[in-house]
């Protein structure tokens, strides 16, 4: 799995990347007071949101395409190496508790497997073959989406994942932080968030990582909104798996319905603890079984179920 690329060629390639550029004006940063370094870093971070804003049309187009396929039962798969891979795994892992998705519905793949979450796996990011094997284990089809994530936009694992997924008929998205990237070019939807050189030369866990996190937040969150996982800005598909989330569930029902505590408890009991069903029970004066049926018929969209109940 070790790369056979000529180190001189790779160095030349890195020299051409915006994310790898050296900033001579920061060459003495280690001599500055801590507060000054913090101010510099904070100023750098403030520029990331604007870079993301400049690509909102491309992000929105990708989201609409993802949601269309997921509505047909497809999966959202993130694939990346290093920081990019970890961010994908993080976003995927937060979908089940936030939106009550099945763990197989949003998947994070990182080059080198779970071990790579906490330690570097030598050569993993350089392997297109590893990406193909990881995706083949998922048995992709045309309803699935694969999002390749790479700050440089040149990581073989991410590019290999996108190329293989596209060959299988899946939708593909390439998320990079350099212009004219190979990753974006390989994908159906290329999203390039150009944040510029990092505070520490080549440390793309900084601005590039922040940009990737912001975009992944949008991809998953807005897709779930489109799939009916929210009611307004309320997480009505939240999974109440601990005391905090059980309290949040009751609060969400209260905010959505204005009902008192006793009615909320009765509705949640009738709904088997499902927040969305409990809200429908209260707002449409239904029993739990009818509310469940209407939600199933509406594809899980609460507003549509409410409309059909009146």
Q: Which residues are catalytic?
A: 94, 125
Residue 78 backbone phi and psi in degrees, to 5: -100, 140
Residue 298 carries which DSSP code?
Answer: T
- Give the separation between CA 58 and CA 74, rounded to whole angstroms: 21
Give CA separation, 43 vs 32, 38, 198, 309, in Å: 15, 8, 12, 51
With DSSP H G I counted as helix, E B as strand and the rest as coil, what are the percentages for the chain, rounded to 5? 55, 10, 35
Residue 218, judged by CB atoms within 10 A of its CB (0-12, 13-18, 19+), counts as middle
- Give the separation between CA 261 and CA 242, rounded to whole angstroms: 19
For 150, the 3-state DSSP assignment is strand
Q: Is the dihedral angle over the CA atoms 107, 111, 113, 116 positive or is it negative?
A: negative
């Amino acid at each position: 799995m070790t790369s056979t690329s000529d180190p001189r060629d790779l160095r030349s390639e890195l020299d051409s990347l915006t994310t790898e550029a050296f900033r001579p004006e920061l060459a003495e940063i280690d001599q500055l007071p801590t507060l000054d370094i913090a101010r510099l870093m904070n100023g750098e971070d403030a520029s990331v949101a604007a870079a993301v804003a400049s690509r909102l049309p491309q992000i929105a187009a990708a989201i609409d395409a993802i949601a269309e396929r997921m509505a047909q039962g497809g999966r959202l798969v993130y694939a990346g190496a290093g920081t990019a891979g970890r961010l994908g795994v993080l976003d995927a892992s937060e979908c089940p508790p936030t939106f009550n998705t099945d763990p197989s519905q949003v998947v994070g793949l990182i080059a080198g497997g779970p071990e790579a979450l906490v330690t570097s796996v030598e050569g993993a990011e350089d392997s297109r073959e590893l990406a193909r094997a990881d995706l083949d284990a998922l048995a992709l089809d045309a309803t699935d989406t694969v999002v390749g994530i790479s700050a440089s936009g040149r990581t073989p694992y991410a590019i290999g994942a996108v190329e293989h997924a596209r060959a299988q008929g899946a939708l593909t998205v390439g998320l990079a932080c350099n212009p004219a990237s190979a990753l974006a070019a390989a994908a159906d939807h290329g999203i390039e968030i150009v944040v510029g050189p990092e505070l520490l030369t080549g440390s793309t866990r900084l601005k590039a990582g922040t940009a990737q996190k912001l975009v992944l937040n949008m991809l998953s969150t807005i897709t779930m909104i489109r799939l009916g996982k929210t009611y307004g800005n309320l997480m009505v598909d939240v999974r109440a798996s601990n005391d905090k989330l059980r309290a949040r569930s009751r609060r969400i029902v209260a905010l959505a319905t204005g009902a008192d505590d006793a009615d909320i408890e009765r509705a949640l009991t009738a709904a088997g603890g499902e927040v969305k069903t409990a809200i429908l029970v209260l707002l449409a004066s239904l029993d739990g079984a009818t509310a469940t049926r209407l939600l199933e018929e509406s594809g899980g969209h609460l507003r549509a179920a409410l409309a059909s109940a009146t």
